[in-house]
Structure 1
Amino acid sequence: MRRPRRGLSIAVTLAVVWLAGFAGAGAASAHVSVSSPGAVQGGYASIVFKVPTESATASTTGLKVQLPADQPLASVSVLPVPGWSYTVTKAKLATPISSDDGDITEAVSVIEWKAASAATAIKPGEFNQFVISAGPLPKAAAMTFKAIQAYSDGSTVSWIEQAAQGSTAEPEHPAPTLTLAAAGASSAPPSSAAPTASAATTASSADEGNGRATTALVLAIVALLLGAAALTLAGLGRRSGRPS
């Protein structure tokens, strides 16, 4: 009579482990990221920083992005975000950048966005996007932008970690990394990567609702499977207990 119960406990344990992995996968993906469809080495592109709020109680009130010092960009402009202000810091270049207008001796090193009020901060369960237009992009496979996310409770999260050389494991707080296509590769026009100001505002509650519905459906299916397994094992236990 104990074997069916042991089998049921194993099934429940496996289901709990699977559910924990499902929840963990969702949490791990909720970090500051960067994207730019059509970004090509040597070209110009709109670069989008996506900032979700991971905290369940505090809102995101600030974002500081460090542009890679070893890959200076001659031209950088910022798309205004309603309800947010920004400051741009420049740094002197050890090696000037040649351009049609002459040598460029300094380049943007840091861009910092701040929410103007609590009403425009990124609330729990929401995200926002911050966009810059920049170029020429370096002739490299990727660019890494270290970022610091500030919360309304005074805490910060530093998205600055990079995977060890040769490792495929993602760090706990990975630095946003942008992959650049080789020059001449087929790509979409840079303008397609730049959302309008309205498109760069916080996500709608419909998206959040869809996510909750999907999670509920998965949990319901798991519950049904566990119930079926319990009934099956209980039936086997009753049959094994009957006298032959």
Structure 2
Amino acid sequence: MSLLKRTAAVGAAVAVLSLVLAAPAAAHVSVSSASAVQGGYAKVTFRVPNESDEATTTKLEVNLPAGTPFASVSLKPIPGWTMAAEKTKLATPIESHGSPITEAVTKITWTASGDAAIKTGQFQEFDVSLGPLPKVDQVVFKALQTYSDGTIVRWIDEPTTDGTEPEKPAPVLKLAAATDTPAAAPGATVTATADDAKDTGGTSWTGIVGIGLGLVALIMGLLAYQRAGKSTAAAATPASTTSAE
């Protein structure tokens, strides 16, 4: 086998191995958010894929961290699914908008009814609005996924310190650091700047095109004037006579 063929074979093997190793990670219950900032409110989405070839996913339980409770938790209805938020009395009350909060939601349960269960090769997303988000780098949500055959997959393993992925990783939400500038101020500034840039850009291109056309017209005019001057001078010069005349 030539060196080129061996290299191609090794490359193909590595690619296949990478896909095999990546496949299980993509099937984990996960959580994401478009804007999760420390101290703010956010809509988070729990994505639940069905990993079974025979059973459907009929229930999802998500545990919210009791150490950093959320004062506000709202659930988005999903057709065919019932939902329940379980509250727990807090050992240490938290404050929200100047008022003490003595209990908070610590578990959310979604249960499928009828044909709404997550089937093989499908996934479902569950949206939750919550806040204020704690001032930490990440929040771990331990989740339990129940199948129609009674199997329960416990996605509860916390992130490792060495960066390796645990066998059943819990969904982890990364939080961005808060800034001192109000959130609305940068947005308004950026929007205004973007609009100004569009207007300025349009005017600049129009001006450039206008100047270019003007220069072309000027050059053509000068050339025409030059040609006309030469023609006039030639017509005004008398024909030369021979010495015999």
TM-score (normalised: structure 2): 0.68
Picking from 92, 97, 100, the partner of 2:94 is 97
Counterpart in 1 of 2:44? 47
Structure 1 counterpart of 2:132, which letter?
A: P
Distance (whole Å) between structure 1 residues aligned to residue 73 and residue 145 of structure 2: 21
The superposition leaves residues 1-42 of structure 1 with CA deviations (integer Å, 9 ceiling, x where unpaired) of xxx59x989976874564243123122211100011111111
Give the alignment of 1:6-21 within 5 angstroms.
15-16=12-13, 18-21=15-18
Is residue 138 from structure 1 mapped to residue 134 from structure 2 by the alignment? yes
Give the alignment of 1:30-41 within 5 angstroms.
30-41=27-38
79 and 111 in structure 1: CA distance in 2 versus 1, 3 angstrom threshold:
same
Structure 2 counterpart of 1:64, which letter?
A: E
Paired residues, what number? 184
The superposition leaves residues 72-94 of structure 1 with CA deviations (integer Å, 9 ceiling, x where unpaired) of 00010100111000111111111
Counterpart in 2 of 1:154? 150
Shift of 1:147: 0.2
The superposition leaves residues 50-106 of structure 1 with CA deviations (integer Å, 9 ceiling, x where unpaired) of 101111211111100000010100010100111000111111111111123621100
Structure 2 counterpart of 1:106, which letter?
A: E
Counterpart in 1 of 2:174? 179
Deviation larger for 81-90 or 25-34: 25-34
Gaps of 5+ in 1: 190-244
Counterpart in 2 of 1:58? 55
Specify the SS of the correspondent of 1:107.
Answer: strand
Specify the SS of the correspondent of 1:21.
Answer: helix
Structure of greater relative contact order (alpha carbons < 8 Å, 6+ residues apart): 1
Specify the SS of the correspondent of 1:175.
Answer: coil
Distance (whole Å) between structure 1 residues aligned to residue 181 and residue 149 of structure 2: 45
Counterpart in 2 of 1:23? 20
Gaps of 5+ in 2: 185-245
110 and 19 in structure 1: CA distance in 2 versus 1, 3 angstrom threshold:
same
114 and 99 in structure 1: CA distance in 2 versus 1, 3 angstrom threshold:
same
Specify the SS of the correspondent of 1:97.
Answer: strand
TM-score (normalised: structure 1): 0.68
Distance (whole Å) between structure 2 residues aligned to residue 52 and residue 186 of structure 1: 38
Structure 2 counterpart of 1:176, which letter?
A: P
Counterpart in 1 of 2:118? 122
Identity of aligned residues (%): 50
Aligned-residue CA RMSD (Å): 2.6
157 and 45 in structure 1: CA distance in 2 versus 1, 3 angstrom threshold:
same
The superposition leaves residues 164-204 of structure 1 with CA deviations (integer Å, 9 ceiling, x where unpaired) of 32x11111211100011111289999xxxxxxxxxxxxxxx
Distance (whole Å) between structure 2 residues aligned to residue 28 and residue 83 of structure 1: 27
181 and 10 in structure 1: CA distance in 2 versus 1, 3 angstrom threshold:
closer
Structure 1 counterpart of 2:173, which letter?
A: L
154 and 13 in structure 1: CA distance in 2 versus 1, 3 angstrom threshold:
farther
